[in-house]
Chain A
Amino acid sequence: MAGILSYDFVRHAVEAAFLASITCGFIGAYIVARRMVFISGGITHASFGGIGLGYFLGINPIFGAAIFSIMSAFGIRLVSKQTDIREDSAIGILWSFGMAVGIIFIYLTPGYAPNLMSYLFGSILTVTSTDLGLMGILATVTVTVFMLFYRTILFISFDEEYARSHNAPVETFNYLMLTLVALVIVINIRVAGIILVISYLTIPQSTANLFVNDLKKIIILSMIISFAGSMTGLFLSYYWNIPSGATIIFVFVLIFMIARGIVYLRDLKLRKISISDR
């Protein structure tokens, strides 16, 4: 294992997994707690439109994706609030619209679209130092926002109307968090791909939620699970020569299932004890 760390691309992959675990630990816990998984899926796929636009205009597709993801996140919120279109319908519309726009732009772009597959399925092994720089900045911003406003975020998420009755800046925070969600998704598309990035935001958090029930603890535990799972997946993909992104997700789900089994056995044991007590 130590030998493979001497390769640059492997070190980059480890650093990327570390930074992804941090940003997804915070934002994933927020998404799972607020039941925003579906809207996050919508934002993720809508950002493909921006990737297509990036190819078409010849700019870094990640910047196009960032614009599309923030606009679709705000769009979903505004449409479901201001009109009689329901939120899940709005998500479905923008989800597929973004994908369609992306396909059209890529088709219109002359020549071959390099790295297209890496945006769809992720490619942790080809992460560049520019990507790592962006991931580092976003991780710093995310950590700062949560350190400063943890309780405000927690209280607004738990009971929005109550927060409003206390004159808390609910809308400002909702849009700030939505922006962070969109950016974290886009940045981690390089690691896990459009199709798989939602796994980083939900599986480690759901696994953590099996053992702990406090947002702060879910954040920390999901980071650990996320990094450990990424390392295991990375190693296995190297060892068996299979795609890294898919292997990492496979490991995430495996960890989740083992954890669920442990919880089941523990509850069974507790129930037996409480029965024999009587």
Chain B
Amino acid sequence: MNELIKLDNVTAGYDNGIVLRDVSLTVYDRDFIGVIGPNGGGKTTLIKLILGLIKPLSGTIQRFDNQEGSFIGYLPQQSQIDRKFPITVQDIVLSGLMSAGKGLSRYTSKDKKQAFDLLGQMGIGHLAKRTAGELSGGQLQRVFICRALISSPKLLILDEPNTFVDNRFEHEMYELLQQFNQKMAIMIISHDVGTISYFVKTIACVNTYLHYHPSNIITEEQLAGYNCPLQIITHGDVPHTVLQKHDHSHDHDHDHNLTHPEDHKHE
């Protein structure tokens, strides 16, 4: 398997403190990693490091980027988007082809056709000429997925993709992601840990430290070992996990994790 991204002992943070400490993670071709963890635990910081939006304070990040166009496709959280901005859907998708050298060259009819085809695959081809403000949250989400995919990236990163999406499309989206996974690695950040653990291959729990779990099934004992604030709940065949309030100090005192596991168990 080819390595795509390699983080080695990375520590990162902002003016007000360290957010990630000693994080090591290698993303391989066709990985499907669910990134879970509490709010403020550093999930988004991890993504920003991988995207090159922030620099690590220490440690190294290697990108094995040998393709033209963008190597990473990225679906940001929708809350950072100005939905009243005057831009057409087709232009949003084409912006996924933007790169440092592309400032002067025009978009070809092939680029436009590709944008239109992708929108068609997502079932929103008829919205190509509409503007962002006219779309529902779920429709806009599909547009952003098209933008992330148009450069045929090796790695697709999705930050909280299910925030604005209706239930019907959510299921559809995960099935699409599994198809994309035939061709590219995927990292998905989610609060809805239960659902993603069903689709992903491996799990990374981020809470200042990163604990990588090389399978999509985590037992309570393992979570306790990772010092990760999660609890397993099972609905029928689908393993579910939920977040539990948790002090992630690095004292390796896990006892309080398991104090009231019954509270979180559904029958």
Contacts and interface: CB of A to CB of B under 8 A. Distances in A.
Interface of A: 29, 33, 35, 148-149, 151-152, 154-155, 157-159, 161-169, 209, 212-215, 218
A165 B134 contact: no
A218 B84 CA distance: 13
A155 B72 contact: no
Contacts of A29: 86
B91 A165 contact: no
Given A149-B103, A214-B86, A165 B131 contact: no
A166 B80 contact: no
Given A151-B98, A154-B91, A166-B100, 16 more contacts: A35-B82, A148-B104, A152-B103, A154-B87, A157-B85, A159-B95, A161-B53, A161-B76, A162-B76, A163-B95, A164-B53, A165-B51, A166-B98, A167-B99, A213-B134, A214-B131
Closest 8 A-B residue pairs measured CB to CB?
A: A213-B131, A155-B95, A165-B51, A167-B100, A215-B86, A166-B98, A152-B103, A158-B87
Contacts, number: 76
A109 B82 CA distance: 47
A218 B74 contact: no
B83 to A, nearest CB: 10
A165 B86 contact: no
Interface residues of B, number: 29
Contacts of B131: 213-214
A213 B134 CA distance: 9
Classify the interface of chain A: helix, strand, loop or mixed: helix
A165 B94 contact: no
Nearest to B47: A165
Contacts of B14: none
A169 B103 contact: yes
B38 to A, nearest CB: 23
B64 interface: no
Contacts of A159: 76, 80-81, 95
B71 to A, nearest CB: 10
B16 to A, nearest CB: 11
B95 A158 contact: yes
B52 interface: yes
Contacts of A168: 98-100, 103
Contact of A158 (B74, B82, B103, B107): B82
B181 interface: no
B51 to A, nearest CB: 4
Contact of B85 (A33, A149, A163, A164): A33
Contacts of A212: 86
